[in-house]
Structures are given as C-alpha cells and as structure tokens.
Amino acid sequence: MNQSCQAFTCLLALLFSIAGAHAQSGYPDRPVKVIVPIGPGGSYDLVGRHLADALSKRMGQAFVVENKPGAGTVVGTQAASQSEPDGYTLLVGGLSNMAFNSALYSKLGYDPRKDFVPVALVYKFGYVMVGRKDLPYAKLADIVAAAKANPGSISVATAGVGTGQQLVAAAFMKTAGVKFQEIPYKGSPPAFTDLLAGRIDLFFDSIAAGLPYVRSGQARGIAVLSSKRSPLAPDVPTMSEAGVPGLDVDSWLGIFAPAKTPADVITKLRREIRASLPELKERFEKSGGEPWDLPDDRLDAFVASEYDNWTKLIREAGIKLD
C-alpha cells in the first residue's frame, strides 16, 4: 500500500511538472503589464508604448502600459520590484531608476541590482552641450581654459537636482577638471528660455531637445557626449574630438523583470524584443534616439558598470534628493 501511494504521489508530481512546463512554454497566456515609472510623455513612456504595441502584435497577447509616476521614477519601480516574478509584470528601466536613484536617495524601497534582471536594452540617446549664441568662446577648449582660469565664472543650467542634465554636467566638470556655476531650473524649458535670452552660458540636454535651437541659430552646438557624432548633428564634434576625451555618455532605456522571473520567459521576451527592433527603428529615430540591441551576454555587466560608475560620480559630487 505504501509503495502504491508513493508511486501515485510520484505520478502526480510528474503530471504537475509537465503541466507547469507546458503552461510556462505558452507564455504569455494572459495580458502582461508594462510599468512606466513616469507619467505620459517622455522617453520612458515612448519606449514602453512602442515596445508594448510591437510585442502585443508579435506574441498574440496584450501588453498593457501602466503609467505609475511618483518621486521621480521611484514609486513605479518599487511597485514593479514587489510584483510576482512570473513575467506578467515588466518595467521600463533606464539610468534614472536603475543607476541614479540608489546614490541620490539614502533610503530607497528597492535595490536595482538585487530586485531586477535586465531583459533587454532597446533605446539610447545622446546629450549635447549647447551654449548661448553670443558665448565669447569659439571652441570647447576655450571654455575649459576659461573655467580653469576663473572657476565659477561660466554658468551652466541644470534641469533640477538629480536629473540627467545635472548629472551629465557633473560628469563633464569632473572629466574636464573644471567648476561651473550651477543654476538650477525646474525642467528644461525654463533653462532653454534663459539660455536663449543670454542669461546663462551653457546647458546639457538631450540631442533631440537641444538641436532645434542649434539649427535655428538661437544657440550654439559645442559638442556631443557620445562616442561618435550624431547623424542628427553631423557638424557638432564629439567631446573627444573637441579636446575632452573620456566622456562618452549615452542615456539608455530597456525592459527589466523582477528577479527570479523564469529563465525561459526571459529568453522568450529577449527573442521577441530583438525581433521587434527593426520595425521600431524609424519611430525611435524620430524621437531623437536610436534602437539599441545590446547582446545578451553583455547585459548584466553593462548595467552593473553603469550602476557603479554613476553611483561613484553622484556620491563624489555630493548630490542628494533626501
């Protein structure tokens, strides 16, 4: 009797195992939620919605975007970290919630390194250093020389504490060995207003945001912070070309899943996301960025290096949000 019970128990376990494997291989068999940790609009939302639309069509199941803003990107990211690791809740992650926040906040409700696994990085965009049109320095080398001779004599706008614009400016000052006078603004629009009016000297923002002013002649494009020139601004040199080597900064976005999400689900998502990128190329480029297909075997190391590098820079600069 005991042997019969044991055999029956083993058979049940086997059947449940087979059923579970079959159910997993059928992923997704219900709608998948994609958390965007900011409100509608902006690069996080753009990537989340375009990718959700493409995956819905490819995988025959709805991928539904849920905007969950609050405390920058903290509220939505924390909510995703507490979700079931079953592949049915995904997160749009980028520099802000996956690299900046751990250093900016003394207490954070999630750990980007322990609570998430990168599924795919799909989008990146560069930054450009723009100057007021009557800036009395012809080249980047002249700006650096003047800033070194008179620290604080050149002003730079930031779009708020802890924003990408402020942190890119901090990265530039550290790399070039200079000190600008930082003028904080509540977002990019008011910063550009004062730049165009000649009330501040410099501003770092995305290429998409800065180039219209450069093309119209209202501001000067001084250098891009990527490793190569942007096709959107072929006449603007890179930082290395302009005399400040070692400053290659691209902002990136991708899809992350809660830690312990089944490996076969991650593999399937990676395959389908990669297959979606060609159809998203034009839409991504219109937004000022470009599709990015980082190989799977480089994902973990790249995200970890971004976390380490930005954490070090933010702490050395003494930038905090609490």
pLDDT tens, position by position, 149-176: 999 999 999 988 888 999 999 999 999 9
Inform me whether the pLDDT recorded for 1 exceeds 60. no
Are 117 and 173 in a shared domain? no
Are 230 and 284 in a shared domain? no
Q: What angle do CA 182, 188, 192 make, to 5 degrees?
A: 80
Q: Is 121 helix (H, G, I), strand (E, B) or coil?
A: strand
Does residue 15 sit within a domain? no
Domain boundary among 242, 273, 289: 242
Give the pLDDT mean for 292-309. Answer: 93
Q: What percentage of the chain has pLDDT greater than the value 90?
A: 71
Does residue 204 sit within a domain? yes
Q: What is the pLDDT of residue 72?
A: 83
Q: Is 242 helix (H, G, I), strand (E, B) or coil?
A: helix
Closest CA to 208 of 284, 132, 156: 284
Are 89 and 179 in a shared domain? no
Are 116 and 57 in a shared domain? yes
CATH code of the domain in which 234 resides:
3.40.190.10
Are 65 and 93 in a shared domain? yes
Does residue 119 sit within a domain? yes
Does residue 186 sit within a domain? yes
DSSP letter, residue 83: S
Amino acid at 315: R
pLDDT bucket at 255, cuts 50 / 70 / 90? very high
Q: Please, what is the average pLDDT of the chain?
A: 90
Does residue 183 sit within a domain? yes
Are 104 and 166 in a shared domain? no
Domain boundary among 224, 242, 260: 242
Does residue 1 sit within a domain? no
Domain boundary among 242, 264, 295: 242
pLDDT bucket at 248, cuts 50 / 70 / 90? confident
Chain centroid to CA 185: how far?
Answer: 21
Q: What percentage of the chain has pLDDT greater than the value 70?
A: 92
Q: Which carries the bigger pLDDT value, residue 232 or residue 225?
A: 225
Rg (CA), the chain: 23
Closest CA to 65 of 85, 86, 51, 79: 51
pLDDT bucket at 247, cuts 50 / 70 / 90? confident
Q: What are the tokens at 187? A: 């977002």
Are 102 and 113 in a shared domain? yes
Are 214 and 65 in a shared domain? no
CATH code of the domain in which 90 resides:
3.40.190.150
pLDDT bucket at 116, cuts 50 / 70 / 90? very high
Q: What is the pLDDT of residue 6?
A: 52
Residues 20-76 have pLDDT tens digits of 444 446 899 999 999 999 999 888 999 999 999 999 999 999 999 999 998 889 999
pLDDT bucket at 183, cuts 50 / 70 / 90? very high
Calculate the alpha carbon distances from 54 to 33, 41, 283 in Å: 14, 18, 12
Q: Which domain holds residue 199?
A: 126-242
Are 232 and 261 in a shared domain? no
Does residue 145 sit within a domain? yes
Are 304 and 281 in a shared domain? yes
Amino acid at 291: P
Give DSSP secondary structure letters for 147-176.
Answer: HHHSTT-SEEEESSTT-HHHHHHHHHHHHH
Q: Which carries the bigger pLDDT value, residue 304 or residue 10?
A: 304
Q: What is the pLDDT of residue 275?
A: 96
Calculate the alpha carbon distances from 106 to 100, 101, 102, 111, 299 in Å: 12, 9, 7, 12, 26
Are 169 and 267 in a shared domain? no
Are 236 and 140 in a shared domain? yes
Domain count, the chain: 2
Does residue 83 sit within a domain? yes
- 164: exposed, middle or buried (Cβ count in 10 Å: 0-12, 13-18, 19+): buried
